[in-house]
């Protein structure tokens, strides 16, 4: 009986992790974002990451949620992390530029806006 009680949490964690990569979770996070439920969206994106999912889109969306929640440093970290999966899109460069503009680092902001001009918009 003790072995079952010890194994059960591990089994449940593995099932939760597998479920966290389900595309339905991504759709739910996007829906929460559109509804302005940024905390809920962040929690789902965190679950997806814990389940092993990582992508440019996930980190871009997570960064935008953090930005809307006023968590600027977390937003920048997530946005920059998204570039480790793909070339930066124009939208991403603008979001990073916005961060530096809002923090008074105009020279760096201009760099990111210029970079955005040289990227294609998806």
> What is the per-residue pLDDT across 3-52, written as a single tens digit (0 to 9) for each?
443 343 333 344 344 445 578 999 999 999 999 999 999 999 999 999 99
DSSP structure string for the chain? -HHHHHHHHHHHHHHHHHHTT-HHHHHHHHHHHHTT-HHHHHHHHHHHHHTT---HHHHHHHHHHHHHTT-HHHHHHHHHHHTTTSPPPHHHHHHHHHHHHHTT-HHHHHHHHHHHHTS---
CA torsion 79-84-86-92 (nearest 10°) is: 20
**What was the pLDDT predicted at 8?**
33
Q: Quick one: tokens of 54?
A: 């990582």
| Lowest-pLDDT choice from 12-21, 67-76, 107-116 | 12-21
> What is the per-residue pLDDT across 86-99, written as a single tens digit (0 to 9) for each?
999 999 999 999 99
């Amino acid at each position: 009986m003790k072995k079952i009680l010890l194994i059960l949490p591990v089994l449940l964690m593995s099932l939760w992790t597998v479920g966290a990569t389900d595309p339905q979770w991504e759709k739910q996070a996007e829906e929460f974002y559109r509804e302005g439920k940024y905390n809920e969206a962040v929690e789902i994106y965190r679950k997806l990451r814990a389940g092993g999912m990582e992508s440019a889109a996930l980190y871009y969306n997570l960064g935008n949620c953090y930005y809307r929640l006023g968590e600027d440093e977390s937003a920048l970290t997530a946005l920059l992390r998204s570039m480790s999966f793909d070339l930066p899109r124009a939208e991403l460069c603008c979001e990073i530029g916005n961060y530096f503009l809002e923090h008074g680092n105009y020279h760096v902001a201009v760099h990111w806006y210029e970079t955005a001009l040289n990227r294609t918009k998806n």
